[in-house]
Amino acid sequence: MEKPKILIVDDKLANIISMETLLNEFKVEFIRAQSGQEALRCTLDNEFALILIDVHMPNMDGYETIELLRQVEKTKYIPVIFVSAVYSSDFYQIKGIKSGAVDFIVKPIKPEVLIGKVQIFLDIYLQKKNLEIEIELRKHIEKVLEAHKNHLELINQILRHDLLNNLTVIKSGFRLFKENQNIEIFDESYEYIEKSVTLINRMKQLENFIGTRKDLLPINLNKHLNEIISKYKKIDFQINGSSHILADEAIESVFDNIIRNAVVHGRTERIIIDIHKMGRKCEVRIADEGKGIPDNIQGKIFNKDFQFGKMGHTGIGLYIVKSAMDRYGGSISVKNNEPKGAVFILEFLNVG
């Protein structure tokens, strides 16, 4: 925390220096002003714990100066103590209080009186600053906890959604294998078991990652894309470009959900992935040649509760994608591909 600042206003420099000498036991920064106008300028660039101001000054006296300070939100509540030898009667002391001062000290100054009163207002100021710091800290902790909660919810959504898809494929594969003993079907089902185990391990890593740090890490985009497309042996893939992006272990689920939707729901047989670096941004366009997405639902497919079609397909997979992209500080959108299909456009932070 910075040292508290005290503004001392007096048209005579000797009086200012005398006041600083009396208060030298305090760990504060003194700011000097030798007129009301100069005092007003000082408040523009500084935050003061207390203002000590002489009443009798040429051009603009202490009363006028404080009345102007009280009209500005920033300086409206700064404690002000008037110091005066000329205007010392009850009338002027009351006038000082009415103009916005909190106290009035008569010259010649009794050091113990000045020190005692300054100590009170410094204590109040420091308590206020400590309270502000504590409030900001609590707000920060609440934001971190809320972010962790959202991230863990995302992990659970990925696990439920992707594991359910994998188990559906495995169940179907074993049923077909039981019927015709086709070893290729058995091998494909076994691959999905391995894929599920890998997914669980990745989400465990992500959970640990989120629990220990808040930053993302550089991810080799092409490495993850190649791992994903290797699972779709019947699909013709083309990847153009390369990059490293800021992401985490959920990145595989991001791309897998988009590709899975294109294959399962879009019935595509070909997917082209274009990677473009644009300064600090990286744009990834995933274009398929399938059935496409109707215009009237393109703005809804990333909603958590979205359902479409006779089978009531949910949008949870794409909602997971959108949630992850929000975490990465990126974005995702979709539009029609020409002549057919859909294009998903993802924007990441590029790191090389």
CATH value at residue 220: 3.30.565.10
CA–CA distances in Å: residue 275 to residues 114, 199, 222, 295? 70, 25, 9, 25
Residue 115 falls inside a structural domain: no
pLDDT of res. 208: 55
Average pLDDT over residues 346-351: 91
Percentage of the chain beyond pLDDT 70 is 84
Q: Comparing C-alpha atoms, which of 167, 197, 190 is closest to residue 182? A: 190
pLDDT of res. 162: 77
Pull the structure tokens for residue 349.
């932070």
Residue range(s) defining the domain that contains residue 314? 215-352
pLDDT of res. 143: 74
Residue 323 falls inside a structural domain: yes
Tens-place pLDDT, residues 279-302: 889 999 999 999 998 888 888 888
Domain finish residue from 58, 78, 109: 109
pLDDT of res. 312: 42
Residue 287 falls inside a structural domain: yes
Domain finish residue from 109, 124, 142: 109
Characterize the bridge pairing of strands 50-54 and 80-84.
parallel
Residue 128 falls inside a structural domain: no
Q: Which amino acid is at 322?
A: K
Tens-place pLDDT, residues 33-45: 999 999 999 999 8
pTM to 2 decimals?
Answer: 0.48
Total number of domains in the chain: 2
Residue 192 falls inside a structural domain: no
pLDDT of res. 313: 47
pLDDT of res. 147: 67
Residue 234 falls inside a structural domain: yes
Residue 292 falls inside a structural domain: yes
Residue 332 falls inside a structural domain: yes
Percentage of the chain beyond pLDDT 90 is 37
* In contact, 45 and 13? CB cutoff 8 Å: no
Domain finish residue from 60, 80, 109: 109
User: How sure is the predictor about 204, in pLDDT bands with cuts at 50, 70 and 90?
Assistant: low
Q: Report the alpha-carbon distance of residue 64 to residue 46 in Å, rounded.
A: 20
Q: Report the alpha-carbon distance of residue 174 to residue 169 in Å, rounded.
A: 9
* In contact, 125 and 4? CB cutoff 8 Å: yes
342 - beta bridge partners?
336
User: Token pair 């439920």 is at which residue?
Assistant: 160
pLDDT of res. 88: 54
Same domain, 95 and 221: no
Average pLDDT over residues 85-93: 59
Same domain, 103 and 224: no
* In contact, 221 and 350? CB cutoff 8 Å: no
User: How sure is the predictor about 261, in pLDDT bands with cuts at 50, 70 and 90?
Assistant: confident
pLDDT of res. 315: 56
CATH number at residue 70: 3.40.50.2300
Q: Which amino acid is at 282?
A: C
Average pLDDT over residues 105-109: 83
pLDDT of res. 314: 45
